[in-house]
């Protein structure tokens, strides 16, 4: 979960999606790789954002999961999986929009934008919406920076 200075979240529209659905960057963990290292690698592979522009601010206490609808199980991942189990991190984006480049070596997104956390689940494919709601509920309090009280 890449969060900008306004508390908005990066979402991309996948090339392989036939509907106008958005998602946050995500991906698999390579053998011997820890989840935080995998998250930074996947973020860079999908968005061009380097680890130098990412500051971890929170992570989910455990793993979250979703199941694919039955009609997609045979189509996605060559029928080998019924869903995914995921570990999520909220990361402060310390760069500028110019540091985001979705035209990566193996592009996954055809468009990107910043989304408000309150409306994020509505942008996602229906079978992932509950996971995104749980994610926002758990990590949402960490998304905005605390402000200083005004000097009297």
Contact 120, 9 (CB under 8 A): yes
Query: What pLDDT score was predicted for residue 151?
Result: 60
- Residue holding tokens 């990412």? 54
Query: What pLDDT score was predicted for residue 93?
Result: 97
DSSP-assigned beta bridge partners for residue 22: 13
Full pLDDT tens readout for the chain, 152 residues: 999 999 999 999 988 766 678 999 999 999 999 999 999 999 999 999 999 999 999 999 999 999 988 888 887 777 788 888 999 999 999 999 999 999 999 999 999 999 999 999 999 999 999 999 999 999 999 887 655 555 66
- DSSP per position, 21-61: -EE----PPPTT--HHHHHHHHHHHHH---GGGEEEEEE-S
Answering whether pTM is above 0.75, one says: yes
Angle at 22 between CA 86 and CA 10, to 5 degrees: 75
- Alpha carbon distances (Å) from 84 to 73, 110, 141: 11, 23, 25
């Amino acid at each position: 979960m890449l969060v900008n200075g306004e508390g908005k979240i990066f979402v991309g529209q996948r090339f392989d999606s036939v509907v106008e659905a958005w998602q946050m960057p995500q991906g698999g963990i390579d053998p011997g790789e820890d989840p935080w290292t995998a998250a930074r690698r996947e973020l860079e592979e999908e968005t061009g954002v380097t680890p130098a522009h990412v500051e971890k601010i929170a992570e989910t206490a455990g793993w979250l999961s979703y199941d694919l609808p039955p009609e997609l199980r045979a189509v996605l991942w060559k029928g080998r999986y019924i869903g995914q189990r995921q570990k999520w991190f909220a990361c402060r984006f310390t760069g500028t929009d110019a540091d985001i480049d979705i035209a990566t070596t193996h592009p996954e997104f055809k468009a990107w934008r910043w989304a408000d956390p309150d409306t994020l689940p509505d942008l996602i494919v229906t079978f992932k919406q509950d996971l995104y709601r749980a994610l926002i509920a758990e990590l949402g309090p960490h998304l905005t920076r605390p402000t200083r009280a005004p000097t009297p």
